[in-house]
Structure 1
Amino acid sequence: MTADLTALARRALLACADLARFTETPGEITRTFLCPPSRDVTAYLTAWAQALGLNVRGDAAGNLRARREGPGPDAPTLYLGSHVDTVPNAGAYDGVLGVTLAFAVAEALRDAPLPFALELLAFSEEEGVRYGVPFIGSRALVGTLDELLPLADAQGISVAEALSIYGLDPTELPEAAVTGQSLGFLEFHIEQGPVLQAAGASLGIVTAIAGQSRLLLEWTGQAAHAGTTPMPHRRDALAAAARFVVAAEDRARTTPGLVATVGMLSAQPGAINVIPGTAQATLDIRHERDEVRQAALAALLTDAHRLARERGVSLTVTEKMTQPAVPMDGGLQTRLRRAAAEEGLSVPDLPSGAGHDAMILAGRMPAAMLFLRSPNALSHHPDETVMPEDIEAALRVGVRFVQGLAAHTGGQP
Structure 2
Amino acid sequence: MVKLQKDIDAIRINTRTEELAACSSTSVGVTRLPFTVESLKAERLVEDWMKAAGMTVRKDALSNIIGRYEGKDPTAPVLMIGSHLDSVIEAGKYDGILGVITGIEVVQTLKDNGIILNNPIEVVGFCDEEGVRFHSTFLGSKAIAGTFTAEDLERADGQGITIAEALKGIGIADPYAYREASRTPEELFAYLELHIEQGPVLEKENEPVGIVSGIAGATRFYFEIIGKPGHAGTVPVAIRQDALLGASDLISYIEHIAIKNQPLVATVGKLNVSPGASNVIPGLVTGTLDIRDLNVDRKKKAIDAILTESERVAKARGLQIRFEQVMEADPVYCDDRLVAVIEESISELDGSVISLVSGAGHDAMAMADVTNVAMIFVRCKDGLSHHPDEYVTVEDMGAGARVLYSTVIKMATKQY
Match of 2:130 among 102, 127, 130: 127
Q: Counterparts of 1:73 and 1:98 in 2: how far apart (Å)?
A: 24
Who is 1:388 aligned against?
Answer: 394
Q: Pick which of 178-187 and 130-139 moved more.
A: 178-187
Shift of 1:3: 7.3
Who is 1:77 aligned against?
Answer: 78
Match of 1:284 among 290, 309, 322: 290
Question: 1:279-305 CA deviation, whole Å, 9 max, x = no partner?
Answer: 112111111111111111110111111
Matched, 1:360 2:366: yes
Who is 1:155 aligned against?
Answer: 159
Q: 3-state DSSP class of the match of 1:171?
A: helix
Q: Pick which of 213-222 and 67-76 moved more.
A: 67-76
Question: 1:168-197 CA deviation, whole Å, 9 max, x = no partner?
Answer: 121221111114431101100000100110
Q: 1:240-279, aligned counterparts within 5 Å? A: 240-279=246-285
Who is 2:350 aligned against?
Answer: 344
Shift of 1:318: 1.0
Question: 1:130-151 CA deviation, whole Å, 9 max, x = no partner?
Answer: 0111111111101222231111
Shift of 1:4: 3.0
Q: 3-state DSSP class of the match of 1:227?
A: coil
Who is 2:308 aligned against?
Answer: 302
Q: Counterparts of 1:235 and 1:197 in 2: how far apart (Å)?
A: 46
Q: Counterparts of 1:342 and 1:74 in 2: how far apart (Å)?
A: 31
Q: Counterparts of 2:179 and 2:219 in 1: how far apart (Å)?
A: 30
Who is 1:11 aligned against?
Answer: 12
CA RMSD of aligned residues (A): 1.4
Who is 2:30 aligned against?
Answer: 29
Percent pairwise identity: 40
Q: Counterparts of 1:27 and 1:250 in 2: how far apart (Å)?
A: 36
Who is 1:231 aligned against?
Answer: 237
Q: Counterparts of 1:16 and 1:245 in 2: how far apart (Å)?
A: 39
Who is 2:214 aligned against?
Answer: 208
Question: 1:247-304 CA deviation, whole Å, 9 max, x = no partner?
Answer: 1111111212011111112221112222111111211111111111111111011111
Q: Counterparts of 2:100 and 2:315 in 1: how far apart (Å)?
A: 52
Q: Counterparts of 2:393 and 2:300 in 1: how far apart (Å)?
A: 37
Match of 2:175 among 154, 170, 173: 170
Q: Counterparts of 2:293 and 2:52 in 1: how far apart (Å)?
A: 43
Q: Counterparts of 1:265 and 1:42 in 2: how far apart (Å)?
A: 38
TM-score (norm 2): 0.95
Q: Counterparts of 2:39 and 2:281 in 1: how far apart (Å)?
A: 49
Q: Counterparts of 1:2 and 1:182 in 2: how far apart (Å)?
A: 27
Asked if the contact 1:202/1:347 (under 8 Å) is kept, the reply is: no
Q: Counterparts of 1:92 and 1:274 in 2: how far apart (Å)?
A: 44
Aligned residues: 409
Structure 1: tracts of 5 or more residues without a match: none
Structure 2: tracts of 5 or more residues without a match: none
Q: Counterparts of 1:274 and 1:26 in 2: how far apart (Å)?
A: 41
Q: 3-state DSSP class of the match of 2:6?
A: helix
Match of 1:375 among 374, 381, 406: 381
